[in-house]
């Protein structure tokens, strides 16, 4: 079932009232000040209870940037509503010709008095149709190395000149969007850190995103679902299926060990970026393998979810629908949706290059 903005925000505000939406934040910025292990246990319990997995763009991704590089005024302005679940953020990184090669981005921001005038386009922008704010990488200088001319701007999505166009996916949903900027005036006070230093901030943020993409607790829950699915389909006794499940279980355990290594690095103050690249690769591989095995177990019954077909003429819920069993219904769309994980957050090919350069030398 696709959750609405209202569904996400209702859960976010429940967490916000307990101070748990900002569970990764230090106490000085309004978070609970939990240790790395406490954060991990909280994520584990949320996944085990089936709680909605909230989009990470606000509390997990842009918030650390504002804490680390923002001014006290920016921190006071943006962090409290984030922690309360009152604002929704999206990420403006990828462009039509600048995805994995992010340094080639073309969206420009020219200083004009107390504002930057922004022109360009972002794409694959998740939940931009819901967002109140977008954090954007923009080009503020054209000479020298491409990375040296990028700045980090916070932009109000209600600003005149911003247009959002949804991109319909194979499952019929519009999770991602194109975002167009036409002479958008952004107050210079919304610049994070120093002009032309945005690339450094983006790298800092991406280490958080790659760790989030691993989603080890979500993978553990999906692994349990595979076992239930195999039993319902009557193939759990098939040794070939059991072998595939066992291999996935080993991979999930190995992924969890990588996450714990990252937590150990954070606790000891070491930079976990190299491990984050490993997490991103392995996490996306595991999630794709899980959805692929689900498809194989369900066979031709793993058709895309058709909500209207779950009810009869009187509007009552059905256990089955034309083309498949109800417990299998979302598998096709989940399989196709997970193909993206090896691309976003820095493609796996680029992550392997990072590991080769920084770990293997």
List residues with catalytic annotation: 209
CA 138, distance to chain mean position in Å, is 20
To the nearest 10 degrees (0 to 180), the angle between helices 273-298 and 348-358 is 140
- Residue 56's nearest CA partner among 200, 174, 210, 191 is 210
Positive or negative torsion for Cα 230, 234, 236, 241 = negative
CA separation, residue 61 to residues 126, 205, 231 (Å):
13, 6, 38
Q: At what angle do helices 273-298 and 216-232 cross, to 10 degrees?
A: 10
Cβ 300 vs Cβ 135: under 8 Å: no
Distance in angstroms (rounded) separating the CA atoms of residues 295 and 289: 10
Q: Give me the phi and psi of 167, to 5 degrees please.
A: -110, 115
The encoded tokens of residue 207 equal 């280490």
User: Encoding tokens for residue 272?
Assistant: 């976990």
CA–CA gap between residue 298 and residue 332 (Å, rounded): 10
**Longest CA span, the chain:** 70
């Amino acid at each position: 079932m696709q959750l609405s903005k209202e569904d996400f925000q209702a859960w976010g505000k429940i967490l916000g009232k307990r101070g748990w939406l900002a569970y990764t934040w230090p106490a000085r910025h309004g978070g609970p000040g939990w240790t790395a292990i406490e954060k991990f246990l909280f994520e584990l319990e949320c996944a085990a209870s089936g709680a909605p997995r909230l989009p990470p763009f606000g509390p997990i991704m842009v918030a650390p940037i504002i804490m680390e590089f923002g001014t006290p005024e920016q921190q006071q302005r943006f962090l409290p509503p984030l922690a309360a679940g009152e604002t929704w953020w999206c990420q403006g990184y990828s462009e039509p010709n600048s995805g994995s090669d992010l340094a080639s981005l073309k969206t420009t921001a020219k200083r004009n008095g107390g504002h930057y005038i922004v022109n360009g386009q972002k794409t694959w922008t998740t939940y931009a149709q819901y967002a109140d704010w977008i954090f954007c990488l923009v080009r503020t200088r054209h000479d020298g190395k491409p990375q040296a001319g990028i700045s980090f701007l916070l932009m109000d999505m209600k600003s005149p000149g911003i247009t959002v166009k949804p991109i319909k996916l194979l499952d019929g949903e519009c999770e991602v969007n194109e975002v167009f900027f036409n002479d958008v005036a952004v107050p210079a006070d919304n610049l994070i850190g120093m002009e032309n230093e945005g690339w450094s901030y983006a790298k800092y943020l991406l280490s958080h995103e790659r760790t989030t993409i691993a989603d080890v607790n979500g993978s553990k829950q999906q692994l349990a679902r595979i076992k239930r699915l195999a039993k319902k389909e009557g193939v759990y006794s098939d040794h070939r299926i059991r072998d595939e499940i066992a291999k996935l279980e080993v991979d999930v355990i190995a992924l969890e060990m990588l996450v714990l290594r990252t937590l150990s690095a954070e606790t000891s103050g070491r930079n976990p970026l190299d491990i984050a690249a490993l997490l991103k690769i392995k996490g996306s591989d595991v999630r794709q393998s899980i959805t692929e095995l689900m498809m194989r177990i369900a066979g031709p019954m793993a058709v895309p979810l058709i909500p209207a077909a779950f009810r009869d003429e009187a509007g009552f819920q059905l256990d089955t629908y034309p083309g498949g069993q109800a417990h299998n219904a979302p598998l096709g769309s989940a399989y196709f949706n997970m193909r993206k994980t090896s691309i976003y957050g820095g493609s796996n090919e680029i992550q392997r290059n990072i590991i080769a350069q920084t770990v293997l030398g």
